[in-house]
Structure 1
């Protein structure tokens, strides 16, 4: 195991809301020189799901992303409290965004979303043995749901139509698992 070459001299909270905390760190870098490091701490886990039915169809969710100022196609995803079971949170997110419940769940990936500036950890699941019901969108969500062959979702990734990093990673990993 590698040792940490960074030394934290001082931490200062710059900003905080219910989802994130932004910190400024005074550090000694690996060369032993003083410097600064900014960190965004996430208060939730990122959870994403690749739902696959018996015909190898999947579901994507489209929404306008405020931070990007553009529309984004993604696999169903959301957040789960750090102290809660991430599988149960993933099940809730899939149901809320698509109305889908799954009888079989497989964790296919743990991912760090942007490890140079944040400590956010995500978990990606493959959901199978699907059943369908009503969606339960959050008040901040205006979502479009599209069902398409998994092969087409993979093509959307390769063509750059899906750019969300967790969605790209999840679809590529699922493709490998499913033999595409």
Structure 2
């Protein structure tokens, strides 16, 4: 059987939607909360959906004048591994996303940037979380002094794009935001994509 192409699918998503019937909070943490909702499925049956609510985050693709990318190595407790990542941080409730990105870059790396543009919004765990990450491109970097949070410990270093691609291909980088940012930067430097203006 020949599978349909995307253009052959029904217009819209009404035939796929699930509608919330009721819900309850089943856990409240410092910034993660777990909810359990009863939903109506497209065929009229009901199901339970459990998911985490998250305030969202930002990540920064910070480019030095020599073209290298500012990176971090940070221990991630849930997977018991020191991971290579681009700088990132969680949004405070109501915080402006660009201001958060600027704050996180300076706090974690000591750098500020004279030029900012918006890359993409990604949803890293769409099956069980509301989390989104807005990725920004930071250029015209100005060196300063970092001031990490009390519970934050990380290494800051710079790496060429070619090294990041190699790490992604070898499975050394598994972080989704860093993988997507690496892919985007490669296409950007080949003139295939462009950043956009900062969304309002």
The answer to whether the Cα contact below 8 Å between 1:108 and 1:174 also exists between their aligned partners in 2 is no
Match of 2:74 among 45, 63, 67: 63
Per-residue deviation, residues 28-72 of structure 1 (Å, max 9, x unmatched): 222221211111000x22110111122111111111101112111
Distance 1:98 1:176 in 2: 25
* 4+ aligned runs moved over 6 Å, structure 1: none
Distance 1:31 1:72 in 2: 43
Aligned residue in 2 for 1:112: 123
TM-score, with structure 1 as normaliser = 0.93
Query: Which of 144-153 and 114-123 deviates more?
Result: 144-153
Distance 2:182 2:149 in 1: 24
Unpaired stretches in structure 1, ≥5 consecutive residues:
none
Query: Which of 75-84 and 160-169 deviates more?
Result: 75-84
CA drift of 1:154 comes to: 2.2
Aligned residue in 1 for 2:139: 128
Aligned residue in 2 for 1:149: 160
Larger gyration radius, structure 1 or structure 2: 2
Distance 1:68 1:141 in 2: 17
Unpaired stretches in structure 2, ≥5 consecutive residues:
1-11, 192-200
TM-score, with structure 2 as normaliser = 0.84
- Larger RCO (CA within 8 A; separation ≥ 6): 1
